[in-house]
């Protein structure tokens, strides 16, 4: 799991006008919430991040699934990125939400699926098949300290007609799939990736095309 550090300052000004001023001054309004201190929930904290620092961190896919150290006015907060709002038309980060965690905090997260050895896939090299991805990411439960950057699937030995389902995945230690949690049955066992045969024109298709061509031909 990657480690990231961002600097922030606490803010007390709220509202749309204050947020607009922050953005004009190269700042991103954000909030930190969650976590417990003794028997009491810790209060949410409004903060401001530097736009250029956050944009640079967001360029790394692992940032979205890592414990981040936010240094707020000299005090460290361990968090994960919970939500990110962007401007609907412009490349502007509108707001960020961070959740306080410890390494043993049980969290729900969405992580990307990455395929390994696509160039060695038997079904592609030998069978002429095509790799078809059904799920780009997966919802998981895990402790924050076990949060993986991604779920890796080795497709080297897949042949044409093969599929890898949720129940086939080898997950990192401490990671559980949301779709299969709490005894979910086969109805939630979706395919994640398949190797399918390439589509080819059938004889019937060729005949239909020929007939269409004849109908469109006129005698001179």
Can you tell me the distance from the alpha carbon of 52 to that of 46, in angstroms, rounded to the nearest whole number? 19
Share of the chain residues as helix, strand and coil, in percent rounded to the nearest 5:
25, 40, 35
Please provide the DSSP assignment of 63-111 as one string: GGGS-EEEEETTEEEEEEEEEEEE-SSSS-EEEEEEEE--TT-EEEEEE
Can you tell me the distance from the alpha carbon of 67 to that of 102, in angstroms, rounded to the nearest whole number? 9
- Given a contact cutoff of 8 angstroms between Cβ atoms, the answer to whether 158 and 121 are in contact is yes
- Per-residue tokens: 207: 């005949």
Give the three-class secondary structure for 149.
coil
* Mean pLDDT of the 194-210 span: 67
* Mean pLDDT of the 81-86 span: 93
Query: What pLDDT, on the 0 to 100 scale, is given for residue 90?
Result: 80
Q: What is the pLDDT of residues 8-58, one digit of tens each?
A: 999 877 767 677 777 778 889 999 998 765 444 578 999 999 999 999 999
Q: What is the pLDDT of residues 96-113, one digit of tens each?
A: 999 999 989 999 999 999
4-101 CATH fold: Ribosomal Protein L25; Chain P (2.40.240)
Residue span(s) of the chain under CATH 2.170.120.20 come to 107-196
- Given a contact cutoff of 8 angstroms between Cβ atoms, the answer to whether 32 and 70 are in contact is yes
Please report which confidence band the pLDDT of residue 203 belongs to, taking 50, 70 and 90 as the band edges: very low
Residue span(s) of the chain under CATH 2.40.240.10 come to 4-101
Query: What pLDDT, on the 0 to 100 scale, is given for residue 210?
Result: 55
**Cα dihedral across residues 116, 118, 124, 126: positive or negative:** negative
* Mean pLDDT of the 197-201 span: 76
- Per-residue tokens: 45: 């904290």
Tell me the pairing of strands 106-116 and 75-86.
unpaired
The CATH number fitting domain 107-196, selected from 2.130.10.10, 2.170.120.20, 3.40.50.1980, 3.40.50.1220: 2.170.120.20
* Mean pLDDT of the 122-140 span: 96
Can you tell me the distance from the alpha carbon of 13 to that of 27, in angstroms, rounded to the nearest whole number? 13
Query: What pLDDT, on the 0 to 100 scale, is given for residue 25?
Result: 81
Report which of 115, 38, 111 is spatially closest to residue 81, judged by C-alpha positions: 111
3-state secondary structure string across 184-211: CCHHHCCEEEEEECCCCCCHHHHHHHHH
């Amino acid at each position: 799991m990657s480690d990231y550090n961002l600097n922030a300052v606490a803010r007390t000004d709220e509202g749309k006008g204050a947020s607009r001023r922050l953005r004009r001054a190269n700042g991103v309004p954000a909030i930190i919430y969650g976590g417990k201190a003794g028997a009491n929930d810790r209060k949410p904290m409004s903060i401001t991040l530097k736009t250029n620092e956050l944009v640079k961190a967001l360029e790394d896919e692992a940032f979205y699934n890592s414990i981040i150290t936010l240094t707020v006015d000299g005090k460290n907060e361990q968090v994960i990125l919970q939500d990110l709002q962007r401007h609907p038309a412009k490349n502007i980060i509108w707001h960020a939400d961070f959740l306080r965690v410890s390494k043993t905090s049980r969290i729900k997260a969405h992580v990307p699926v990455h395929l390994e050895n696509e160039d060695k896939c038997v079904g592609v090299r030998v069978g002429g098949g095509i790799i078809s991805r059904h799920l780009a990411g997966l919802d998981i439960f895990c402790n924050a300290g076990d949060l993986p950057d991604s779920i890796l699937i080795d497709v080297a030995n897949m042949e044409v007609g093969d599929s890898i389902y949720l129940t086939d995945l080898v997950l990192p230690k401490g990671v559980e799939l949301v779709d299969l949690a709490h005894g979910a049955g086969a109805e939630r066992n979706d395919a994640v990736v398949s190797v399918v045969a390439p589509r080819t024109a059938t004889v019937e298709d060729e005949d239909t095309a020929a007939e269409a061509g004849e109908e469109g031909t006129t005698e001179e």
